[in-house]
Amino acid sequence: MKNSILSISALSLVIGSSAIECDRKNGDSVGMAGKPNILFIFTDDQCYSTINALGNKKIRTPVADRLVKKGTAFTNAYIMGSSSPGVCLPSRASLFSGLHLWNLENQGVWGYEISENYTTLPQVFRENGYITFATGKNDPGRHGHFARSFSHGDKLLFQGMTSSQYVLPLFPFSPEGNYSSEKEVIHEGKHSAEVYADATIRFLEEQADSEQPFFAYVAFQTPHDPREAPAEFHEMYRAEDMRLPPSFLPEHPFDNGMLRIRDEELAGFPRTPDEVRKHIADYYAMVSHDDYQVGRILDALKKSGRYDNTIIVYTSDNGLAVGKHGLMGKQNVYEHSVRVPLVVSGPGIPRGEARDQLCYIYDIYPTLCERAGLPTPETVQFKTLNKVIDGKEGVHREYLYFAFMSWQRAIRNGQFKLIEYCVNGKRFTQLFDLKRDPGEMNNLAGNREYALQLDKLRKLLELEKVNLNDGNTPFEFTRNQGEEFWNTFYSVEKSEFPKFNFDDFNNN
């Protein structure tokens, strides 16, 4: 695997046209018998702690619970962070391209289109005889990689969010890849999650008599705000019944670089317990509504006769704070924002098992290629999870690296997590023992007993920034972020060790 974007050859430039043209003529199912279908369910802003079967008994997710029971759950699955305030953009680009955060082709704060230098995950399947289908949120992709990735689609959203879950600026699928503004159609009156579930169900009904395997990418735009769901789902969760998270705070105690952004302004400053309870209730309602729509999709998959030979992946593009640490959004590297659900079920996948190995959700790219017997492109930088799934690998990754723009860097191993902040000429350091303190509430950085751990993780952080090209990419926007962070890190000698005070707020 190649970690430097400078060393990656553009060997896929010539691949696409003939294979995709053949695919557009309905493909060739010869030799495809027995290939597994892929149903990839991708939610938006879903924190790891929002599935009942994985520990949160306050939330109702019967469909996700069944997936956990029938598959393998990864309990330490993460994103890499973000080089954009829109965390979903680089996360989705990493998923599709197989590239590490700092090797993504970056065209600016919102630009993460994937050039033809790289074969996307669904494109691999399309070029190997699969029907590939997409619905829902497909940003980035509109101006480049979506068209070569998918042979079918419906109800496509090419933006990060909508102002209402019931007013949707969507595009019909274009075989020619024409998604110009005049093609946009406003859909009103039906919730986005239901719209995307309906589109998927129609696709699955069409596949009932087909012998050609499919890759279906179902990208919900929820539980991202606006926090709207049908009334019956809001009625499941009364705000007054919601418990505040143990790490609730009215405000974050120091400047993390992005405390005043749209996500954070969804609640007042300082946050109040009642307001956060209402946000939690509405957030849970959306998760449960998504869960119901996934159930409709799975029912249609069973009815089509394709269920038993379908690998189902359930995950999310990033998490969300919703009141933890005084934050509302995901522009940070705390666990609630970088750790997400990842459940895989289907043929050959162990049932009712959990894996606690450290992984990135983007490791699913080579994993699915191998499961389907397809070649993984040489440009993919993530590691297959198949040995972990099969119980043959004790350690998948010894540590994980995280970043948020020019202000935050973090690294975690099996027990400890270091977060470094460089903001406005100041440094702040946090060290957490995640085994004893999974909510990241007790900063150990100033405790002499943990000086060895602090030094070890700092050295590892500096090593990984070199390995991952943090501050050394050919893309000015992201290169400047790395340079700014590390220049402050090395030039400011002393770091502060801020402590939290949760005592006044726990579960009041």
* pLDDT one-digit tens code per residue, 339-378: 999 999 999 999 999 999 999 999 999 999 999 999 999 9
- Per-residue pLDDT at 20 exceeds 70: no
Does 433 lie in the same domain as 315?
no
Pairing state between β 77-78 and 339-340:
antiparallel
For residue 209, give every residue at least 6 positions away whose Cβ sits within 8 Å of its Cβ, in sequence order, or none.
Answer: none
34 domain-assigned: yes
In terms of pLDDT, which residue wins out, 34 or 254?
254
What single-letter amino acid sits at 391? G
- Per-residue pLDDT at 177 exceeds 60: yes
- Per-residue pLDDT at 324 exceeds 60: yes
* CATH code of 304's domain: 3.40.720.10
Does 234 lie in the same domain as 146?
yes
313 domain-assigned: yes
Residue at token pair 């940070």: 332
Does 416 lie in the same domain as 299?
no
Q: CA–CA separation, 342 vs 79, rounded Å?
A: 11
- Per-residue pLDDT at 185 exceeds 90: yes
Please give the tally of structural domains in the chain: 2
Q: CA–CA separation, 285 vs 232, rounded Å?
A: 9
User: What pLDDT is recorded for position 6?
Assistant: 36
Does 372 lie in the same domain as 409?
no
Does 462 lie in the same domain as 336?
no
Which whole-number Å values give the CA distances from 122 to 134, 145, 322, 364, 397, in the listed order? 9, 10, 32, 12, 25
499 domain-assigned: no
Find the domain containing 279 and state its range: 5-397
* pLDDT one-digit tens code per residue, 372-385: 999 999 999 999 99
* pLDDT one-digit tens code per residue, 249-304: 999 999 999 999 999 999 999 999 999 999 999 999 999 999 999 999 999 999 99
User: What pLDDT is recorded for position 165?
Assistant: 98
Does 405 lie in the same domain as 336?
no
For residue 10, give every residue at least 6 positions away whose Cβ sits within 8 Å of its Cβ, in sequence order, or none.
Answer: 116, 117
Place 505 in a pLDDT band, splitting at 50, 70 and 90. Answer: low
pTM of the full predicted structure? 0.93
In terms of pLDDT, which residue wins out, 508 or 262?
262
* CATH code of 469's domain: 3.30.1120.10
Does 222 lie in the same domain as 96?
yes
508 domain-assigned: no
Cβ neighbours, 10 Å, residue 264: 20
Which residue, 379, 397, 415, sits at the end of a domain? 397
Percent of the chain with pLDDT over 70: 93
- Of the ranges 103-107, 247-251, 308-312, 338-342, which one carries the lowest mean pLDDT score? 103-107
48 domain-assigned: yes
- Per-residue pLDDT at 470 exceeds 80: yes
Residues 26-46, mean pLDDT to the nearest whole number = 80
User: What pLDDT is recorded for position 26?
Assistant: 45
Does 52 lie in the same domain as 128?
yes
In order, the DSSP letters of 329-395 are SS-S-SHHHHEE-EEEESTTSPSSEEE---EEGGGHHHHHHHHTT-PPPTT--S---HHHHTT--S-
- Per-residue pLDDT at 184 exceeds 60: yes
Does 451 lie in the same domain as 350?
no
- Per-residue pLDDT at 150 exceeds 90: yes
- Per-residue pLDDT at 48 exceeds 90: yes
- Per-residue pLDDT at 18 exceeds 50: no
Residues 412-422, mean pLDDT to the nearest whole number = 98
501 domain-assigned: no
Place 501 in a pLDDT band, splitting at 50, 70 and 90. Answer: confident
- Per-residue pLDDT at 10 exceeds 90: no
- Of the ranges 26-35, 56-65, 159-168, 378-387, which one carries the lowest mean pLDDT score? 26-35
Which whole-number Å values give the CA distances from 217 to 156, 323, 338, 437, in the listed order? 11, 31, 22, 36
Which residue, 397, 417, 443, sits at the end of a domain? 397
User: What pLDDT is recorded for position 17?
Assistant: 43
* pLDDT one-digit tens code per residue, 204-252: 999 999 999 999 999 999 999 999 999 999 999 999 999 999 999 999 9
Does 440 lie in the same domain as 333?
no
Residues 149-175, mean pLDDT to the nearest whole number = 97
Does 251 lie in the same domain as 165?
yes
User: What pLDDT is recorded for position 111?
Assistant: 87
User: What pLDDT is recorded for position 34?
Assistant: 87
In terms of pLDDT, which residue wins out, 30 or 71?
71
Does 124 lie in the same domain as 82?
yes
Distance of CA 214 to the CA centre of its chain: 22
User: What pLDDT is recorded for position 189?
Assistant: 97
